[in-house]
Structure 1
Amino acid sequence: MTLHLPSGSPRLETGPYAQGRGRPTSPQDSPRIRDVLVALAALTACLGAVAAVIGMMERPDPVVVETVRGTEAVLYGQGVYRYETLFVGSLNRGTDVVTLVLGVPLLAVTIWWARRGSVRGVLLLPGAVGWFLYVYATMAVRAAFNPLFVIYVAAFAASLYAFVLALQAAWQVPVRARAGRALPRPAAGVLLLLSGLLMPVIWLGPILGAQLTGQVPDRLETYTTAVTEAVDTAVIVPAVLLAAAWVWRRRPHGYVLAVPLLALETMLAPMIAAQTASQLSAGVELTPAEVVGPLGGFVVLSLVAGWVLGRLLTAVEEPGLAPPAREA
């Protein structure tokens, strides 16, 4: 790995074109992705589409039940989400909408883009796959058992290994700023750092407050533990802070890791909006603060992340695009 800092914009290199091995000057030098990665990413998109369509089919038929903690909870009552609480089942339907409308097309376009030999496409591919990994890792371990369990597990497995291969492919591409452009180091570094510091506060604050008073967190209801909070805090937060540190130190791999994290943050606004709309249409009682707070905060974060991601991708030097390039 070499760091190039000529006059003007910082130009960063990593991968096979670092250390004086030459720069991509023709389509033949474009980055290549493996057939198995394409197959796994396509399988991920298909499984996600199937799960999303089936999940969206049934509207709720609420049922009141008593939880093991002696409190009452309202279940979704119908369809694959019948044993979820009304709050979570309708939230899942909102996520299904975003997966079908945004996630599947984004992954399909990114696969095509990456196969043409685009550096930007290869950098974005882990982010497109990462959405499905985030969603179906959670569904596989948190969702109440239902007929889609095997599909959740298959989507989790396919997206996990597709993500590993996509990140490995992105690790090998040259990350250099185009002439006259600069990679957005301050913007990306600050956003990633703030995200990494705020996320534990947002997720763990209410949980720690409940534990200090001997209570259980709000909205836990029939569930045994807080899966999303655990995954975000244990996996996403360290990755975000590591990317921030690498970006600040001008490490090229910091940008490679930042792209999927920024892509996931960019998806927050449509996800929260769709989830909130689904919950309100299902009759979930939300206070104005519960509606405006998450929407306002996540919309701002999502817009900033999208702006930084756009600046980063457009600043990256792009070799000439080749016909679909693959590596077995």
Structure 2
Amino acid sequence: MGYRRSVGILTGLIIILAIAASGYGLLSGQGPGEKGSSESFTSIRGEKVELYGSGIYKNDSISVVAQAKAQDGVTLVLGVPLLLVSLVMSFRGRVRGRLLLAGALGYFTYTYASYSFLSMYNNLFLIYVILFSSSLFAFILTLLSLEKEKVERFFRPSLPAQSIGLFLLFTSLMIMLLWLGRLAGSYRQGTAPEGLEHYSTLVIQALDLAIVVPLSSITGVLLIRRRPYGYLLASVVIVKAAALLTSITAMIIGMLRAGVSVSTVELIAFPAFNLGAIVCLYLVLSNVQEPG
């Protein structure tokens, strides 16, 4: 794999810092309602916000902390082991390892971009930024090393490219409609979007509408047409989607446990997308043929 040394150093740094950041996030603070730590205030938009009140996430809302702690758990239990295993596999020349590594780095890039831009400022800010930067550049280098080869030759003709491509198109369309529907309601009522609380803007929705939706749509079209870049991008997008949607499903469970309301559409849609992404991931990996 080209850029092996650089990717190895960056990935090692990501693993160390991610364990520290996610572990501290999980263990920090007593949580709302315990020892009287939580507190409420009214935001400048007139929305009542209940802060977590303790630990590293003390200035974040209960809703966001429920999501952050769930994502910390998924990163620690799933993301870090996936990153480590895929790095070892890629160093051994396994195509599956290289594809998994690119997807895992995509997950870490998205995750710590959202932490850097969304979380209220805390002592882990520089750690989030380093994780975001390291993940982004390791992802780019891994993608460049794959782009130099004819990735489509690593896949069996039996790969159900059309079905996977249609799933990516359908998922991107549903996510776009879900977020645009939330924005449309706020435009009609002349109020801030639901769930904005005391934050400055909708970071997750911005990342999804600006990057995830277009990338998934383009990948779906290319894969349906069996273009070389379709195989490359589909592998990356599906690994990243499976990991990210698993964390979103964990977030929904965390929010329900914390007593935070979740819309019925999100409660049904995201776990369904998660299951679909896992099935697509299995189909992609099972149809990879290793060279030699």
TM-score (norm 1): 0.82
In our comparison, the structure showing a higher alpha carbon Rg is 1
Q: Tell me which residue corresponds to 1:312.
A: 284
Q: Relative to 1, partners in 2 of residues 1:259 and 1:183: Cα closer, same or farther, differing over 3 Å?
A: same
Structure 1 residue 62 displacement after superposition: 1.7
Structure 1 residue 125 displacement after superposition: 1.3
Partner Cα separation in structure 1 for residue 104 and residue 155 of structure 2: 27
Partner Cα separation in structure 1 for residue 191 and residue 91 of structure 2: 52
Identify the range of structure 1 (175-184 vs 32-41) with the bigger mean alpha-carbon deviation. Answer: 175-184
Partner Cα separation in structure 1 for residue 163 and residue 174 of structure 2: 16
Q: Tell me which residue corresponds to 2:128.
A: 152
Partner Cα separation in structure 1 for residue 132 and residue 220 of structure 2: 27
Letter in 2 for 1:59: Q
Number of equivalenced pairs: 286
Partner Cα separation in structure 1 for residue 38 and residue 109 of structure 2: 29
Q: Does 1:59 align with 2:34?
A: no
Q: Deviations over 1:194-246 (max 9, x none)?
A: 12222211112111211121011111110111011011100111111111121
Partner Cα separation in structure 1 for residue 225 and residue 191 of structure 2: 43
Partner Cα separation in structure 1 for residue 155 and residue 74 of structure 2: 36
Q: Tell me which residue corresponds to 1:80.
A: 56
Equivalent residue of 2:56, what SS? Answer: helix
Partner Cα separation in structure 1 for residue 108 and residue 244 of structure 2: 13
Residues 76 and 86 in structure 1, CA contact (< 8 A), matched pair in contact too = yes
Q: Tell me which residue corresponds to 2:191.
A: 215
Residue of 1, 9, 13 corresponding to 1:43 = 13
Residue of 260, 274, 288 corresponding to 1:285 = 260
Equivalent residue of 1:80, what SS? Answer: coil
Equivalent residue of 1:79, what SS? Answer: coil
Q: Relative to 1, partners in 2 of residues 1:180 and 1:242: Cα closer, same or farther, differing over 3 Å?
A: closer
Structure 1 residue 39 displacement after superposition: 0.9
Alignment of 1:95-174 (within 5 A): 95-174=71-150
Equivalent residue of 1:267, what SS? Answer: helix
Partner Cα separation in structure 2 for residue 181 and residue 110 of structure 1: 24
Structure 1 residue 277 displacement after superposition: 3.1
Residues 156 and 288 in structure 2, CA contact (< 8 A), matched pair in contact too = no
More helix by share: 2
Letter in 2 for 1:46: I
Q: Deviations over 1:175-212 (max 9, x none)?
A: 34679752221111101111222221111211121112
Residues 140 and 156 in structure 1, CA contact (< 8 A), matched pair in contact too = yes
Residue of 224, 238, 261 corresponding to 2:214 = 238
Partner Cα separation in structure 1 for residue 20 and residue 269 of structure 2: 31
Partner Cα separation in structure 1 for residue 229 and residue 156 of structure 2: 21
What are structure 1's unaligned runs of at least 5 residues? 1-30, 321-328
Give RMSD over aligned pairs.
1.9
Higher relative contact order (CA 8 A, sep 6+): 1
Q: Tell me which residue corresponds to 2:250.
A: 274
